[in-house]
Chains A and B, each alone.
Chain A
Amino acid sequence: MTAFILRRLAALLPMLLAVTLLVFALMSLAPGDFLTPVKAQRDINPALIAELQKSFGLDRPWYEQYALWLGNVLHLDFGYSWTYKVPVAQLIAQRAPATILLSLTSLLLAWTLAIPLAVLAAARPGGWIDRLTSAAAYFALAIPEFFLALLAVWMAARTGWFPIGGLTSLDHDFLSPSSKFFDIAYHLILPTLVLGLGGVAGTLRVLRANVLDVLQSEYVTAARAKGLSEKVVLFRHVLRNALNPLLSTIGYAFAGLLSGSLLVENVMNYPGLGRLVYEAFIREDQFVVLGSVVVGCSLLIVGNLISDLALAWSDPRVRYGR
């Protein structure tokens, strides 16, 4: 098992190398660079532009820039953000908690809503719960996420029921700890709903099909024959087995912790990593982009590893190692 984990983690390195190289090459192919907006200002001196270019290393070919960056990364230095003049690692670390918080709440929403609904729907296929939930799921999967976010912002503006964007109120600093908690919770409601809705629908569909599968298996028939109540059969025997395949989606959920909410964060004005990363792409703030790609990619691979391990742990038939 340890060997398996180590082998998988070792595979991370070439992958990261290839991904960052690809992204770096693509970014250097893009027209313009970080200094383009500066160049377009009407009262800026060309000599200053040249000096800035030199100090950023933008006057060198891209592969040289990449090699320099790579060299620094080996010393665990991910470079400075050109925009903020702050180490990239520090910048990402500042913004990541809010994003992780949002991802977790929406994941929580997806699972807590989807699991009971899926079991209830599958218990009576074609019943009204089943029809209602599957209709809702079709609808939820069809709404573009950003459009839903826009509608939510508009609703909040019109009704005043929810704050428009942000994670804390203006007087947050003056609140007591418990009020701080509720303040954040209140700000999280809308983004969580928007981000979680697609997750609810997706999980619901997968889980419902799984439950249906398991219901047809022999041991369920046996359990029913033993005279166990339907509730016990459903939630003790069926659900546990139906959740197994869902474990494999943990990897994706984990990977999406930081990048999954980019669109929603941007539309809903949420102070997370999404806005930072998107702006870094637009401004071509190279090292921030590379840093976020490294983090996103590592999370994906680690996430996949975790879901493989979870699968092995829950299903003894799965074995690793050759």
Chain B
Amino acid sequence: MVADIFRSLLRRPAGLISAALLGLLYAMALFAPFLSPTTPSAQNLDRTYHPPTALVWQDGHLCVQLYQLVDPSTAAYQPLPDRSVPLRWFSEGPSYKLFGLIPANRHLFTVPDSHPIYLLGSDATGRDVYTRLLYGAGISLSIGLIGVFLTSLLGLTIGGLAGYLGGWPDSLAMRLTEFLMAVPGLYLLLALRAALSSRFPSDATFLLIVVILSALGWAGTARVVRGLVLSLRERPFILAASIIGQRPWTILFRHLLPNTFSYLIVAATLSVPGYILGEAALSFLGLGIQEPASSWGLMLGQAQDIKIFMLNFWWLLTPGAAIILTVIAFNLLGDALRDAVDPRFRLPGK
């Protein structure tokens, strides 16, 4: 089944390109410490709001252009003519743990003598935006995946049981989903966040946000799964299974739920953007990921300062571009998957 989907996906260029792009993004997030020249918390108070450093080709080396601060009051930098430093490849730098496990200190590139290299500029305390973007990707991208996983798990279990068992468990589950869907989402989000924030340490906010977003999100999935199970229950192969005496649980988990998987994959793919945008909105309101951790939403939230627009610190808006790109890719992929699974299948509108 999954192989079928994959094969038909291969025939759709938009879906394929999106899948490749997402693969690349996740790989970058995974290898963030290796790909970045420094750490996300390293500051340089003499280099705040540094523009992206130019790369020049000099004497057969790829070199980074050096700059000087010409006006501290506007954070205006100017390139120093003919001053550049060659990049060092696969060199030693700050040590880190790859995948959180393997200790390492090699970086794809670094600059000797702690000269600054800011591929995407620096922020208010002179931290490297490129590095923070890579580290932030880890959080922003995994919130979507983990959130969708939790939602699907909850939705599948509750929706599946409700649809299969019928009767009072069904009504109970449906009332619960109606209840969740009847509360204005943003209000509940604000209330949940306020209530739970003190029970999570500030570095576990990540978990908190996933829990909140999933707690609000499972109701929709559960209703779809229930509907699917209801219609599948009457199919001949299920009836056959119960006639040959298979136990209800076996039927549910062996026959019914696996048949909803393909729909679930589509639904999951299409709901990842909701989590990414949800994290961004929360962080924008100052209720999301907290410093010194980094996420795209947090970085974008910090860029709402008016001087960033007025002084053209455009590089601080790159997290916005990253979010847009990722969300488009997920939506394209989801649509392609849906066409592959069943062109006529439609998910309830958001």
Contact = CB atoms under 8 A, between A and B. Distances in A.
Contacts of B344: 213
Interface in A213-263: 213, 248-249, 252, 255, 258-259, 262-263
A23 interface: yes
B284 A262 contact: no
| Chain B, interface SS category | helix
Contacts of A30: 191, 194-195, 197-198
A252 B349 contact: yes
A163 interface: no
Of A26, A144, A258, A263, the most chain B CB neighbours within 10 A belong to A144
A27 B195 contact: yes
B194 A142 contact: no
Given A15-B179, A213-B344, A26 B349 contact: no
A278 B187 CA distance: 9
B97 to A, nearest CB: 32
B186 A259 contact: yes
| Chain A, interface SS category | helix
B331 A154 contact: no
A206 interface: yes
Given A141-B331, A142-B328, A146-B284, A15 B194 contact: no
Contact of A297 (B183, B192, B198, B323): B183
A166 interface: no
A147 interface: yes
A268 B284 CA distance: 14
Given A259-B184, A296-B184, A296-B187, A143 B324 contact: yes
Contacts of B181: 300
Interface stretch (B37-45, B58-66, B273-281): B273-281
A281 interface: yes
A104 interface: no
Nearest to A259: B184
B115 interface: no
Contact of B320 (A22, A138, A139, A144): A144
Nearest to B325: A142
B277 A144 contact: yes
A249 B191 contact: no
Nearest to A293: B187
A15 B331 CA distance: 34
Interface string A274-287: 00011001001000
Interface in B180-230: 181-188, 190-192, 194-198
A134 to B, nearest CB: 9
Interface residues of B, number: 42
Given A27-B195, A141-B327, A301 B182 contact: yes
A31 interface: yes
B270 to A, nearest CB: 10
B309 interface: yes
Contact of A26 (B184, B194, B280, B328): B194
Nearest to A274: B186
A22 B183 contact: yes
B184 A263 contact: no
Nearest to A292: B187
Nearest to B309: A154
A157 B183 contact: no
A281 B186 CA distance: 11
A145 B323 CA distance: 12
The 5 A-B pairs with the shortest beta carbon distances in the complex, nearest first, are A142-B327, A30-B194, A29-B195, A296-B184, A26-B195
Given A143-B324, A146-B284, 15 more contacts: A19-B179, A19-B182, A22-B183, A27-B191, A31-B197, A144-B284, A146-B280, A206-B349, A258-B184, A259-B184, A263-B281, A281-B194, A293-B184, A297-B183, A300-B182
17 contacts: A18-B179, A19-B179, A26-B191, A30-B194, A31-B197, A139-B324, A141-B331, A144-B320, A146-B281, A147-B320, A150-B309, A213-B344, A259-B184, A284-B194, A296-B184, A300-B182, A300-B183
